[in-house]
Structure 1
């Protein structure tokens, strides 16, 4: 599978809410450096899965709208908006934020992520 296809699988509808899908796409040594509007966050494999658990407790749907995606060898960059539906209001898409991420893939898995985000 191409690197771009692996990244797209990670960001497909509701994948970020499914711990099983996320765990299958992550390299065991994954590391994400995330510069958010709330500060710097660094996550490893267990941290990403814990984050997935938290998302799935708060939201019933997750949708990513990708505006840009580029691949060069094992690096994939994308810019996207992340929308969710809350348990309290399942009929309305709520914009969580706008993101830019660069993924390095290793062994056909997400290995290193460098992400920036801005809350909506």
Structure 2
């Protein structure tokens, strides 16, 4: 897979920890700046956070709006949509984000993500 294909597959399956684990390098690190401030996460910590998020919402999806690949680096811009447990039929725009990813050995190795909540 190309780095771009790896990143696309990651975002297509991001809310399914078992599905994205194969795309994550064992030494993966993510530096994330968002509503909670600055977080630095390992692959296992990222998967745990995703699992927590998955039980808080009836459904969620990510829509990639931009994606650029250069060698083993990929930049993305995306929007995150959710349906709340209280209103499972009403999808809302939850957040917007950009991510810069580096791959190694055909896996996601390092990422920097900056996100902000829309609501």
TM-score normalised by the chain length of structure 2: 0.93
Q: What's the counterpart of residue 98 of structure 1? A: 96
Q: Does 1:4 align with 2:12?
A: no
The list of structure 1 runs, each at least 4 consecutive aligned residues, that deviate by more than 6 angstroms after superposition, is: none
Q: What is the CA–CA distance in structure 2 between the aligned matches of 1:117 and 1:84, rounded to whole Å?
A: 15
The question of whether the paired residues in 2 share the 8 Å contact of 1:76 and 1:103 is answered with yes
Q: Over the residues paired in the alignment, what is the CA RMSD in angstroms?
A: 1.1
Q: Alpha-carbon deviations, 1:52-105, whole Å to 9, x = none?
A: 110111123221122211000000000111111222211111222110000100
Q: What's the counterpart of residue 85 of structure 1? A: 83
3-state SS in 2 of match to 1:40: strand
Q: What is the CA–CA distance in structure 2 between the aligned matches of 1:8 and 1:62, rounded to whole Å?
A: 16
Correspondences of 1:12-31 after superposition (within 5 Å) = 12=12, 15-31=13-29
Residue 107 of structure 1: how far off its partner (Å): 0.8
Q: Does 1:119 align with 2:107?
A: no
Q: What is the CA–CA distance in structure 1 between the aligned matches of 2:45 and 2:63, rounded to whole Å?
A: 24
3-state SS in 1 of match to 2:14: helix
Q: What's the counterpart of residue 72 of structure 1? A: 70
Gaps of 5+ in 2: none
The question of whether the paired residues in 2 share the 8 Å contact of 1:16 and 1:62 is answered with no
